[in-house]
A and B are shown apart, each in its own frame.
Chain A
């Protein structure tokens, strides 16, 4: 998990929680609004009813005025409701519906509602009708519905406004909490990503949250199992190499001793044939061991490898080899180093030299050349043998592939092994035949691109006094 990913998880958690909280809050506000409206209506109706009763009693004291008004056939403005804002309007009507008295702010058509006791909505008004059976009059009192709406809106507003503050506060709390939790996961993820493939240590359990602990413990069990498997493979590869090489060496040495002692006897040919067969067996075993190592799951080291020293050691290894058959092996080493695995580089170069020994027969020299440029670092094994005429050299990296003009003795595994090792090291194997500028020869070049991968950073060796323009020649067969 990357840091960006962790951040997005935090935001996603915060967003979900806040959205849920908002929806829940709004649902609460809606429910509250419904209940509140009912309560406001109930309270206002009670108040209206009570005010109507009071007003009815007041009207009974103005009976003369009402009678006079009835005689005159006029409606008179009655006494005000006495409220500061004159919320109420009213009218007194007789049984026939005629208006006997009305408040000064009531228009004639405003309260055109039936003379029936109870509440009714009329336009923007809530009207209560109260009957006076003694005087056969009806009082109709109304208050504005807008006022009720204002009260409801105001109440809802006071419920909603704090939500903003609450959401901001909740967002902060949620972000902090989720970030803290994600950081726990992130620490575990970082511990996994920083695992040294060479060591495969267990993940630390300190500071791991309870929910993550089973996952970390399970990962540790897997890592321990993986480490055991890798160690078993490494041990098998290493020990089997030792166990196989020694008896082959013993058989080959005894055969060579026999051949030496048989010189001049009739057994010379048989002894020499035995030596050749055992030598071929030895080379095949070496190839198979190398193949097992190249294709094994063992992680490769990521360390600085001095290619000049690899060249020198490889020349030293081969410069007495009888299979040179008169050829020389020389090193031309300029300061060059790459990030990689010393043993893997050594195995690759050794296989390239073995390839040159087998297929470069007839040549005079095998050259090991390493150098570093701004773009790449290379280590090449070049022979001046016949090369691989008429062969697609790129196909030579296929397992058991041999060039069309290849001499016998090769297992067809060497270049495949080197190609596998090169890819594992972040390098590439480049083959060419004939050698550039020549009519024959074969060149196998390991190339570490300076920018292609982290495992193949190539820089000149800073501490060496050797000049890159004048490579040192090493050894001679």
Chain B
């Protein structure tokens, strides 16, 4: 899942980026509004936005974000702690508001809640057929059995789980993992799709020629896989 982090303090920004990367998010980090605008349009699920930026108020980015085809959720991360600041931010269209200093686990929990809210899920767990994902624990279970996944594999599973029954393009899957694996492999998506098929079964991911990939039926190893 891609996240745009707009934070002008490089020390804080790098810590948040690295922590969220550990949490299997694909994070783009910029330090100003101009950098954020340059990243748009982008396939971001969440924008973590500081307000007091060198080139303006972070809230001025919200209208631009709303013009996205799939507008990302916005979490404001700021030192402005007054209740009126919070009201101003939420009324401007932000989805959540977190005041500095904060706990990184709390930020991660809020991001998960935002994603869950966007997907219309009430439960913190994601169910995809026999697959049950616990984003808080980063655990994936197939028919009750824990499946060990790398961060990149987990990010791909989350990307499929967030878009059930949808065909995800190669670019979308690359976006989901691109900051997690900076290797120059041109077939990186194919590599990780192949690994997931080995763990969840050949039919777990279907290849839709000319379009991309679709999560299929996990837990089976026989039959056609559509390739």
Contact = CB atoms under 8 A, between A and B. Distances in A.
Interface of A: 241-242, 245-254, 256-257, 260-261, 279, 282, 309-310, 313, 316-317, 320-322, 342-343, 345-347
Contacts of A256: 15, 19, 103-105
Given A249-B101, A256-B105, A342 B83 contact: yes
Nearest to A282: B101
Contact of B82 (A245, A251, A346): A346
Nearest to A259: B104
B170 to A, nearest CB: 31
B106 A245 contact: no
A254 B86 contact: no
Given A245-B81, A320-B110, 17 more contacts: A241-B79, A242-B52, A242-B80, A248-B101, A249-B79, A250-B11, A253-B104, A254-B14, A256-B15, A256-B19, A257-B104, A279-B101, A310-B83, A313-B90, A316-B96, A321-B106, A342-B87
Contacts of B113: 320
B148 interface: no
Contact of A313 (B19, B83, B100, B101): B83
A250 B99 CA distance: 12
30 contacts: A245-B99, A245-B100, A245-B101, A248-B101, A249-B12, A249-B100, A249-B102, A251-B11, A252-B101, A252-B102, A252-B103, A253-B19, A254-B14, A256-B15, A257-B18, A260-B19, A279-B101, A310-B83, A313-B86, A313-B87, A316-B97, A320-B106, A320-B109, A322-B105, A342-B87, A343-B82, A343-B83, A346-B83, A346-B86, A347-B83
B103 to A, nearest CB: 5
A247 B9 CA distance: 8
Interface in B11-29: 11-12, 14-16, 18-19, 22
B114 to A, nearest CB: 11
A253 B197 CA distance: 36
A248 B52 CA distance: 16
Contacts of A343: 82-84
A101 to B, nearest CB: 117
Nearest to B80: A242
Interface in B60-94: 79-84, 86-87, 90
A279 B105 CA distance: 13
Nearest to B19: A257
Contacts of B12: 246, 249-250, 253
Interface string B98-122: 0111111110011001000000000
A261 B19 CA distance: 9
Contacts of B102: 249, 252-253
Please indicate which of the listed interface residues B9, B14, B15 has the most CB atoms of chain A within 10 Å of its own CB.
B15
A174 to B, nearest CB: 54
B97 A317 contact: yes
Please indicate which of the listed interface residues A253, A320, A346 has the most CB atoms of chain B within 10 Å of its own CB.
A253
B117 to A, nearest CB: 12
A270 to B, nearest CB: 17
A441 B83 CA distance: 27
A321 B104 CA distance: 10
Contacts of A282: 101
B63 to A, nearest CB: 23
Contacts of A310: 83
A20 to B, nearest CB: 60
A113 B92 CA distance: 118
Contacts of B105: 256, 322
A250 B83 contact: no
Please indicate which of the listed interface residues B22, B101, B104, B106 has the most CB atoms of chain A within 10 Å of its own CB.
B101
Contacts of A260: 19, 22, 104
Given A248-B101, A322-B103, A254 B80 contact: no
B2 to A, nearest CB: 20
Given A250-B12, A257-B19, A313-B87, A242 B79 contact: yes
Nearest to B83: A346
A179 to B, nearest CB: 46
A249 B79 CA distance: 9
Contacts of B84: 342-343, 346
A4 B80 CA distance: 47
Contacts of A346: 82-84, 86
Contacts of A245: 79, 81, 99-101
A310 B67 CA distance: 31
Contacts of B82: 343, 346-347
Contacts of B9: 246-247, 249-250
A313 B12 CA distance: 25
Contacts of B104: 253, 256-257, 260
Nearest to B96: A316
Ranked 7 nearest A-B pairs via Cβ: A346-B83, A253-B15, A249-B100, A249-B101, A250-B12, A245-B79, A250-B11
A347 B83 CA distance: 8
A347 B80 CA distance: 12
A242 B110 CA distance: 22
A280 to B, nearest CB: 11
Given A242-B52, A320-B110, A320-B113, A254 B11 contact: yes
A298 to B, nearest CB: 12
A250 B15 contact: yes
Contacts of B81: 241, 245
A343 B80 CA distance: 11
Contacts of A320: 106, 109-110, 113
Contacts of A342: 83-84, 87
B16 A253 contact: yes
A309 B91 CA distance: 13
A254 B15 contact: yes
Nearest to B113: A320
Contacts of A250: 9, 11-12, 15
B18 to A, nearest CB: 6
